[in-house]
Amino acid sequence: MTDESVEALHDALCEAMVAGDVAALASILAEDFTLTHMTGYVQSKAEWLAAIESGEMQYHRMGTVEATISAEGTTPGLTARTLTDATIWGSRATWRLTLRSWFEPHGDDWVIARTVASTW
């Protein structure tokens, strides 16, 4: 997987989140994907996509301030600092989030295996 592919998957993730496009998200996330929120809550792929679909989680804008790619063994990782304008469970704010994502092969492509969000 090239650095450009890693960045393209991150960009696709952000675009799909803002668009509320759960089909696009489902296609780039591993079946056992988890999102760990800045609160420490670990959310399954199905639960997260359902929350986006229901409007419990709405992403209004995401801007990546910087992104760093690293390799951990044979799988790449990406750490992105973002400014994320979102309404999460009724609270709207712009959060300074660090999104740390790990990737895994899926057939001829790659998918996002898990993402951990924290503040910066």
Q: What is the pTM of this model?
A: 0.92
What are the sequence ranges of the domains in the chain? 3-119
| CATH placement of domain 3-119 | 3.10.450.50
**What does the block give as tokens for 63?**
């801007």
pLDDT tens, position by position, 60-119: 999 999 999 998 777 899 999 999 999 999 999 999 999 999 999 998 899 999 999 999
pLDDT at 2: 83
pLDDT band at 46 (very low <50, low <70, confident <90, very high): very high
pLDDT band at 11 (very low <50, low <70, confident <90, very high): very high
